[in-house]
Structure 1
Amino acid sequence: MRVLIVEDNRDICENIANYLEQHRYIVDFAYDGIRAMHLALTHAFDVMVLDLMLPGMDGLSFCKKLRAEAQLNTPVLMLTARDTLDDKLMGFEAGADDYLVKPFALQELHMRLQALYKRSHSNMNNLLTVGELTLNKSTLQVHRSGKLIELNPTGMKLLQRLMEESPTVVTRDTLETLLWADERPDGDALRSHMYKLRQAIDKPFANSLIHTVHRIGYRVAEESQ
């Protein structure tokens, strides 16, 4: 597991690193918020340990930028001497996933990092991705290029099936069965629903991800083949 420790106290950093490296962690350090943001944007970390009182950029500002501007969901454990309820609430509102108060036991830090890692990787199994398009099967949120896309339940069903099968073609019959089982409506209702889905997924963007395969069905892929 690769962890970024954002902490300006070098003695604390050394103690954490010595302990975590015994458990086969790969540990990187940042002693100020600006350096931490650079590392977060240029390297892939499994978890981050973040102090609040930092030079350059404080921990709350760092966490807010990480979530809102950089749109990174890397789990963050705030490690700080601030121990009031208000401090903890501000930390979670800024985007922290866990909060540990100094002084702390290294064993507890290790177990909390393990829990964050397992939780984040479990959530990844629920994330469908095709190019810049993502669908979280747990939250039913769809994003393209970081933009949230609102879909009705029918559009969500269609998109999920198409993304699960991507880049394979999903036949019209399969999609119609998905929506209506044996009670299919008159006319070409599927085409109407696919049109609405395209308006939401493709119209605001330069390239299309939803492709029609004539007389067969539809597919979601980065390029039509």
Structure 2
Amino acid sequence: MRVLLVEDNADLAANVGDYLEAHQHTVDFAYDGPSGLAAAANGAFDVVILDRLLPGFDGATLCRRLRDEHGVTTPVLMLTALDTVANRVDGLAAGADDYLVKPFAMAELEARLKALNRRASGRIASGALRVADLEYDPRTCEARRAGQTLPLNPSTRRILEFLMRQTDRIVTRKELEYLLWGDEVPDGDVLRAHMHALRNVIDRPFPRKLLHTLRGTGYRLADLGDTADDGD
């Protein structure tokens, strides 16, 4: 793989670079937000490792601009020193595909990069996201399944994009609640109502279920070969 590492800690960057290069990967480096954005936007990388806190502007801003302004769909793994729901959701909502909390094992970092590289084959060349026959284009905010346009409101659209960027990963209820409302979650199980509405649109009219509920934990958007059901 050709990897771009955007990390302002020179010692950590050197250690990661040495490890990946010893495992037959090519690593390019950037040490702040502006240079990282320029490199990621102009280079042909398989994956990008992006620190959450950077000089110039932070990793979330870099990732969001990479997706929105440049249309780059290269998988991004974000490094974060804080393992909080808010910190993770901010990075993932900005367009990151995965996150890893510092300190981390180099072997896990490489394994996650390889997984991201494999998952990238599920993205359409146009920059849209795809899971099985479900497609969503963040640039046009249009969703389609089996060629049919899907009606989404702003909340279900945000949830769908977030879940599609995290394909196969279990996304917790807290992450989705923070995505929609930040720290001011409304009373009642409003999230369940949104998930019910999303399932009605993306699953109910089709024979195969893609949105899976893990009771007491969260949700997973994945092609597991299940037939559609009525679970929320």
Does TM, scored on the shorter chain, surpass 0.5?
Answer: yes
Distance 1:133 1:54 in 2: 26
8 Å CA contact 2:128–2:135 kept in 1: the answer is no
Q: For residues 27 and 139 of structure 1, do their structure 2 counterparts lie closer, same or farther at Cα, with a shift above 3 Å needed?
A: same
Provide the residue aligned with 2:99 in structure 1. Answer: 99
8 Å CA contact 2:77–2:113 kept in 1: the answer is yes
Distance 1:135 1:50 in 2: 20
Provide the residue aligned with 1:138 in structure 2. Answer: 133
Post-superposition CA distance 1:146-185 (Å, at most 9, x none)? 65667797788xxxxxxxxxxxxxxxxxxxxxxxxxxxxx
Provide the residue aligned with 1:29 in structure 2. Answer: 29
SS of 1:8's partner is coil
- 2:75 partner letter: P
CA RMSD of aligned residues (A): 2.7
Post-superposition CA distance 1:37-87 (Å, at most 9, x none)? 111121111101111111111101001111111111111111121221211
8 Å CA contact 2:133–2:146 kept in 1: the answer is no
8 Å CA contact 2:134–2:146 kept in 1: the answer is no
Distance 1:54 1:119 in 2: 27
Provide the residue aligned with 1:209 in structure 2. Answer: none
Q: For residues 69 and 14 of structure 1, do their structure 2 counterparts lie closer, same or farther at Cα, with a shift above 3 Å needed?
A: same
- 1:57 partner letter: F
Distance 2:107 2:81 in 1: 18
- 1:117 partner letter: N
In the alignment, does 2:60 pair up with 1:80? no
Q: For residues 139 and 34 of structure 1, do their structure 2 counterparts lie closer, same or farther at Cα, with a shift above 3 Å needed?
A: same
Post-superposition CA distance 1:166-210 (Å, at most 9, x none)? xxxxxxxxxxxxxxxxxxxxxxxxxxxxxxxxxxxxxxxxxxxxx
* 1:100 CA displacement: 0.5
> Number of paired residues?
148
Deviates more, 1:79-88 or 1:111-120: 79-88
Gaps of 5+ in 1: 157-225
* 1:139 CA displacement: 2.4
- 1:34 partner letter: P
Distance 1:63 1:20 in 2: 22
Q: For residues 148 and 17 of structure 1, do their structure 2 counterparts lie closer, same or farther at Cα, with a shift above 3 Å needed?
A: same
Structure whose CA Rg is larger: 1
8 Å CA contact 2:78–2:99 kept in 1: the answer is yes
* 1:138 CA displacement: 3.1
Q: For residues 150 and 42 of structure 1, do their structure 2 counterparts lie closer, same or farther at Cα, with a shift above 3 Å needed?
A: same
- 1:94 partner letter: A
Q: For residues 57 and 24 of structure 1, do their structure 2 counterparts lie closer, same or farther at Cα, with a shift above 3 Å needed?
A: same
* 1:134 CA displacement: 7.8
Distance 2:87 2:68 in 1: 20
In the alignment, does 2:119 pair up with 1:119? yes
Q: Among the aligned pairs, what percent are the same residue?
A: 46
Distance 2:102 2:108 in 1: 12
SS of 2:134's partner is coil
- 1:112 partner letter: R
Distance 2:37 2:58 in 1: 11
SS of 1:54's partner is coil
- 1:139 partner letter: L
Distance 1:37 1:43 in 2: 10
* 1:19 CA displacement: 0.5
Provide the residue aligned with 1:108 in structure 2. Answer: 108
* 1:92 CA displacement: 1.0
Gaps of 5+ in 2: 150-232
- 2:67 partner letter: R
Distance 2:127 2:73 in 1: 16
Distance 1:74 1:108 in 2: 20
Report the TM-score, using the length of structure 1 for normalisation.
0.58
